[in-house]
Chains A and B, each alone.
Chain A
């Protein structure tokens, strides 16, 4: 299983763009990268998933360089409600995928 490394915590201010980078040096050919968001007292919520290059949805963008050894979740113009823990997961979709969440990145958005 590919191991992921991401910062323990980050701070930002309302209106700023936030980029959270996840390292996954031993990512396998068939592995996808998935990000989840978790608010206190709630279960994780899927944000975005990608395999290579760039993926964008209404919530975030995911940038994956050509070597796929890292990925960056980009949250545009964050608000206080984006304060949460963000998890990066790597695994083979459709195979024997054992989701490994790790400790995630605790993002605090300040007024």
Chain B
């Protein structure tokens, strides 16, 4: 079956622009997680959802970052007024019921110039 998909795979944007990153989880998965990963580091938790409810957003770096999952399936991570320090790999993962095993997507490589 289809795994987790993310789009776009690569995004280059100019500083100050807004970007929207999309995650399409495995069908039927309740939980959806967003991470940011810098080179040589492990994934850094940003936020997660159970169904459409955002359960925790403590990892979002500042108020320029937001996420939604309005129908409990596809999720969008939005970064407003991007800055160069936002450049990173953004990863999405889903799990059937939050019971530990997460399935990761291929990630979106964001470059802010």
Contact = CB atoms under 8 A, between A and B. Distances in A.
Asked if A and B bind, the verdict is yes
A10 interface: no
B105 interface: yes
A91 B101 CA distance: 12
Nearest to A87: B42
Interface stretch (B63-71, B73-81, B91-99): B91-99
Given A34-B100, A93-B98, 18 more contacts: A36-B102, A42-B104, A43-B91, A43-B104, A44-B102, A45-B104, A46-B101, A49-B100, A87-B42, A94-B97, A96-B55, A97-B98, A98-B58, A98-B59, A99-B33, A101-B35, A101-B44, A103-B41
B41 A99 contact: no
Given A87-B42, A94-B98, A99-B45, A43 B56 contact: no
Interface of B: 4, 33, 35, 40-45, 48, 55-56, 58-59, 91, 93, 97-107
Interface of A: 32, 34, 36, 38, 42-46, 49, 85, 87, 91, 93-94, 96-104
Contact of B101 (A49, A96, A98, A100): A49
A104 B42 contact: yes
